[in-house]
Structure 1
Amino acid sequence: MSKAVLEKYFDCFNRKDVDGMLDCLSDHVVHYVNEGNERIGKDKFAEFCAHMSRCYDEKLTEMVLFEAEDGTRGAAEFMVNGVYLETDEGLPEAKNQTYRLPAGSFFSLMDGKITRVVTYYNLSDWIKQVS
């Protein structure tokens, strides 16, 4: 079951269907942002998605999904292919630079919903690519 939820989540991400992504999450999802603060709840997740959509245009490829035997945890490894659209606070100036960055996410699941999202990528590699 968890793998199907993760497949839907990432499919929605690539189609820029934030409502579909939110549908995969529990109401009290905990989102650990790479190099950022923990966000709790769908509203905070939606705010994060709006910010990301304004600053970045990303598509995930080379997706490999992993699932724990009991279905309560999962992980994904993928390549982020993006365009830096609008300058994000504290980061280099955006000039429609492209980037390609390996990344991974970890998930906890309960009752068919994602309860925890943790995403990691190499920020210094991204900064080198867009600078």
Structure 2
Amino acid sequence: MSQQDALALVRRYYDSFNRQDWPGMLDCLADDVAHDANQGGRSTGKDAFSRFLAHMERCYREELRGVVVMASEDGARAAAEFVVHGTYLATDAGLPEAKGQTYVLPAGAFLEVSGGRISRVTTCYNLQDWLRQVGA
């Protein structure tokens, strides 16, 4: 995949996120996608990623702003930086009680691309900052 194609794929992935177009996001992913959640474990496969999206939709409403995407010359690696504007809707296990708190959180992701699809997503943000913002 070319650098330009990788950039377009990652932009489509994040554009789908902002539209809450979960099928559109899943279409960008390899069947065996590896997903590394921030300070969490790795899950593998579209089914696991789909469950993650359903969980996130229940607990959070988020929009990514200022998305900047970069890719290696060969299109095999990409990165995105953005600011998450969110609302904490429902209490997530092991986290503080949700009361509709809002947050603004710088974040980023590292991605691998193979076979025309995203094969790994590793998301990074400052959990302590998020906890402070939701009143933990």
TM range (shorter): over 0.9
Partner in structure 2 of residue 102 of structure 1: 106
Q: Percent identity?
A: 55
Aligned-residue RMSD, C-alpha:
0.4
The question of 1:56 aligning with 2:66 is answered: no
Q: Helix, strand or coil for the counterpart of 1:69?
A: coil
Q: Deviations over 1:65-106 (max 9, x none)?
A: 101000001000000000000000110100000000000000
Cα shift readout 1:38-67 (whole Å, capped 9, x = no counterpart): 000000000000000000000000111101
The answer for unaligned runs of 5 or more in structure 1 is none
Q: State the distance in 2 between where 1:56 and 1:35 align.
A: 17
Task: Figure out how many residues of one structure are paired with residues of the other and give that number.
Answer: 131
Q: What's the TM-score once normalised by structure 1's chain length? A: 0.99
2:81 alignment partner in structure 1: 77
1:5-60 deviations in Å (ceiling 9; x for gaps): 00100000000011000000000000000011100000000000000000000000
Query: Structure 2 regions of 5+ residues with no counterpart?
Result: none
Q: CA deviation at 1:107?
A: 0.4
Which of 13, 36, 48 is the equivalent residue of 2:17?
Answer: 13
